[in-house]
Amino acid sequence: MAKLTQDELLAQFEEMTLIELSEFVKAFEEKFDVTAAAAAPVVVAGGAAGGAAAEAVEEKDEFDVILTGAGDKKIQVIKVVRELTSLGLKEAKDLVDGTPKPVLEKVNKEAADKAAEALKGAGASVEVK
């Protein structure tokens, strides 16, 4: 098997949807027994008794955008879901018909907010968790 360069691997990942990439990361983590989570910032607090305690400060950095209702403009919502996820027409329609369903999972705050605004603009009910 030929070894792929880093650029070739990145080109392959560019062609994947977010869902496909998420599934790949899960499979990678299981295969190599690793976690691809970002390192949390650590704050060190000094005590009066001379001891120092390390405390991990966690800030939520992954959000799920959940479609809770399609509203009156179902066709517009399906179009927005297709733009956000690269799903086909049937898959996007099934997702919209089967609400509540996650549209995007484990995305950053900015992407979650943009997706929620786009879906709300199309008339959908959205929840960001």
Average pLDDT, the chain: 77
Q: Residue 36's pLDDT is what?
A: 63
Spatial distance between the Cα atoms of 84 and 86, rounded to a whole number of angstroms = 6
Closest by CA to 22, choosing from 11, 36, 40, 8, is 36
Q: Which pTM does this prediction carry?
A: 0.51
Question: Domain locations in the chain?
Answer: 63-128
Phi-psi region of 102 (alpha: psi -120 to 50; beta: other; left: phi over 0): beta
Closest by CA to 101, choosing from 82, 80, 126, is 126
Q: Residue 64's pLDDT is what?
A: 85
pLDDT in tens, 55-101: 444 567 788 888 888 888 888 888 888 888 878 888 888 888 887 88
124, amino acid identity: A
Q: Which residue bears the tokens 């998420």?
A: 22
pLDDT of residue 54 exceeding 60, the answer is no
Q: Which CATH number fits domain 63-128: 3.30.1390.10, 3.40.710.10, 3.30.420.40, 3.40.50.9100?
A: 3.30.1390.10
Q: What's the average model confidence in pLDDT over 44-51?
A: 45
Spatial distance between the Cα atoms of 80 and 121, rounded to a whole number of angstroms = 9
Helix (H) or strand (E) segment spanning residue 52: strand 52-56
Q: Residue 56's pLDDT is what?
A: 43
Q: What's the average model confidence in pLDDT over 41-47?
A: 46
Q: Residue 107's pLDDT is what?
A: 85
pLDDT in tens, 2-24: 788 888 888 887 888 878 878 88
pLDDT of residue 114 exceeding 50, the answer is yes
